[in-house]
């Protein structure tokens, strides 16, 4: 399903990216918080797949309403990315699979990508503000 907020698809896509980055940050934070919990299995989120699905660019076909009573997913529907046990986790003696250094690196990367999305959104909104205030043309 393509993101369409009724105004600008780029703004919708950046909004979706920010929401997914926040979800990813929560998964990473939970891993770090449980680094010393015996038996805890590190979780991972498939960010790129979730973003492609949300933007309607995945290889899967989107459901289509074939009857007026059917409901197709809307761009405002909450995103439900897949969160799974990280298959790359190496189990320690207490059964925990969190690699604190790896999780800290993932957190730093996610933060950089989140900040980049915020900056792109800020610039896009700045362009719109310019068009509205300065680009009105002759009145």
Residue 4 domain flag: no
| Residue environment code for 42-53, b if the CB has 16+ CB neighbours within 10 A, otherwise e | bbbbebeebbeb
For the chain, state the CA radius of gyration.
20
Encoded tokens for 71: 């409901």
Mean pLDDT of each 10-residue bin along the chain, 139 residues long:
60 92 96 97 92 76 52 56 90 95 97 96 92 70
Residue 2 domain flag: no
Domain containing residue 43? 9-61+76-133
Q: What are phi and psi of 83, to 5 degrees?
A: -120, 125
The helix or strand, by DSSP H or E, that contains position 85, with its residue range, turns out to be: strand 83-85
User: What is the pTM for the complete model shown?
Assistant: 0.75
- Number of domains present in the structure of the chain: 1
Residue 121 domain flag: yes
Residue 139 domain flag: no
Q: With contact defined as beta carbons under 8 Å apart, do 17 and 117 qualify? A: yes
Residue 41 domain flag: yes
Residue 71 domain flag: no
Residue 34 domain flag: yes
């Amino acid at each position: 399903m393509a993101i369409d907020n009724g105004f600008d698809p780029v703004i919708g896509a950046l909004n979706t990216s920010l929401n997914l980055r926040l979800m990813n940050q929560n998964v990473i934070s939970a891993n770090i918080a449980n680094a010393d919990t015996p038996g805890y299995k590190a979780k991972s989120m498939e960010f790129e797949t979730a973003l492609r699905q949300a933007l309607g660019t995945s290889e899967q076909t989107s459901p289509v309403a074939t009857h007026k009573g059917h409901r197709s997913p809307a761009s405002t529907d909450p995103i439900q990315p897949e969160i799974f046990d990280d298959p790359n986790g190496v189990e320690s003696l207490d059964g925990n699979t969190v690699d604190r250094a790896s999780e800290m690196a993932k957190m730093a990367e996610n933060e950089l990508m989140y900040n980049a999305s915020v900056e792109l959104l800020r610039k896009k909104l700045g362009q719109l503000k310019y068009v509205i205030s300065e680009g009105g043309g002759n009145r």
